[in-house]
């Protein structure tokens, strides 16, 4: 089994989910000094989300943009210099974005799937000399009605990568935004101990995304929620908005604490026991709308639980993005939060 990256941070907002696709933004949002700082915190890796338009134009499929690949090259070079690993995550793929589910075509369009596989073939050839330090994460937060189509495409892609590089560490996550509850529906790759399976953890969502403008339930609920604590007025809210009831939101009267987080992690425990494979938590975090003491308490508890299970992790996110450890100017917002998420 590959050694696990234990504590890291996402570089969201740089070459993925950027608010402007400009050279100025790409040149300045993350620099070597940021990687130096992350290493100084004691972290051992970064997760680098990538949106495919940075490296390939829809007008010219298969022609890859050196000016975009240059940013990956730089990040890898900086990480090597400062002793960090790197997880390269395809955050947005041809025909797929977790933010535009109604218009996605990847799982229906063979040409999109071929482009997806070709991107990974190109990256495998380009970075063949860096193995254990550079992991490839096939795609971020898949959402489809069932897992079958994603499993088929993931296995096709893994076979293509393996033909070029049998030793590359590949990160493979499940359906429904990489939900921990969907680990059971991932089709394991037989006889391949260089696969790391992954999930994201933002539970309970109403707490970690409280008042988030992009979450309809959280925006309408519009409550300040403390951790540990209860969900104020949730029963009345769900009575008025039954479309948001059930599942993870069925928390009226529930006391949210470390025991609840441990309960939510049980599918990961079961996956590791059943499969014998290790896991990696590629994203976790709490929005900056939450009270600071609650953000710190939730992070402290989930980090301890993941560490006890031997699950490596990368918090969301380094800079801004509503979850940032540093602000736009690069100043650390809450030193205690940095200390907690950096712990091995």
Where in the sequence numbering do the catalytic residues fall?
141, 283
Assign 247 to helix, strand or coil.
Answer: helix
Please tell me the distance from the alpha carbon of residue 254 to that of residue 65, in angstroms, as a whole number: 51
Please tell me the distance from the alpha carbon of residue 255 to that of residue 273, in angstroms, as a whole number: 28
Non-local CB neighbours of 278 within 8 Å, separated by 6+ positions: 1, 2, 4, 196, 197, 272, 310, 311, 312
Assign 287 to helix, strand or coil.
Answer: coil
**CB < 8 Å & 24+ apart, contacts of 270-274:** 270/184, 271/183, 271/184, 271/197, 272/309
Looking at 174-239, which runs of residues are DSSP E strands?
Answer: 195-201
Instruction: List C-alpha distances in Å: 262 to 34, 198, 302, 336.
Output: 33, 17, 8, 22
Please tell me the distance from the alpha carbon of residue 15 to that of residue 54, in angstroms, as a whole number: 7
The torsion angles phi and psi of 225, rounded to 5 degrees, stand at -120, 130
């Amino acid at each position: 089994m590959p050694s696990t990256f234990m504590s890291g941070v996402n570089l969201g907002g740089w070459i993925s989910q950027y608010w402007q696709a400009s050279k100025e933004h790409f040149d300045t949002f993350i620099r070597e000094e940021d990687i130096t700082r992350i290493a100084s915190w004691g972290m051992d890796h970064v997760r680098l989300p990538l949106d495919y338009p940075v490296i390939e134009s829809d007008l010219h499929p298969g022609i890859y943009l050196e000016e975009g690949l240059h940013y990956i090259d730089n990040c890898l070079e900086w990480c090597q210099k400062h002793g960090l690993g790197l997880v390269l995550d395809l955050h947005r793929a041809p025909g797929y974005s977790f933010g535009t589910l109604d218009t996605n075509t990847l799982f229906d369009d063979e040409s999109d799937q071929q482009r997806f596989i070709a991107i990974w073939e190109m990256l495998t050839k380009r970075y063949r000399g860096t193995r254990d330090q550079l992991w490839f994460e096939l795609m971020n937060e898949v959402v489809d009605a069932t897992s079958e189509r994603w499993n088929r495409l993931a296995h096709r892609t893994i076979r293509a990568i393996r033909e070029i590089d049998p030793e590359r560490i590949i990160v493979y996550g499940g359906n429904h935004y990489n939900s921990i509850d969907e680990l059971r529906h991932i089709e394991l790759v037989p006889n391949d101990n260089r696969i790391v399976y992954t999930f994201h953890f933002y539970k309970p969502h109403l707490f970690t995304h409280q008042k988030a403008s992009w979450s309809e339930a959280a925006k309408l609920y519009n409550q300040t929620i403390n951790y540990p604590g209860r969900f104020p007025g949730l029963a009345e809210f769900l009575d008025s908005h039954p479309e948001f009831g059930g599942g993870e939101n069925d928390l009226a009267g529930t006391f949210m604490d470390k025991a609840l987080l441990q309960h939510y992690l049980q599918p990961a425990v079961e996956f590791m026991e059943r499969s014998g494979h290790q896991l990696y938590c590629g994203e976790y975090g709490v929005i900056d709308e939450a009270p600071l003491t609650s953000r710190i308490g939730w992070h402290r508890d989930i980090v301890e639980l993941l560490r006890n299970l031997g699950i490596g992790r990368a918090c969301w996110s380094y800079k801004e993005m509503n979850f940032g450890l540093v602000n736009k100017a690069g100043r650390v917002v809450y030193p205690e939060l940095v200390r907690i998420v950096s712990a091995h």
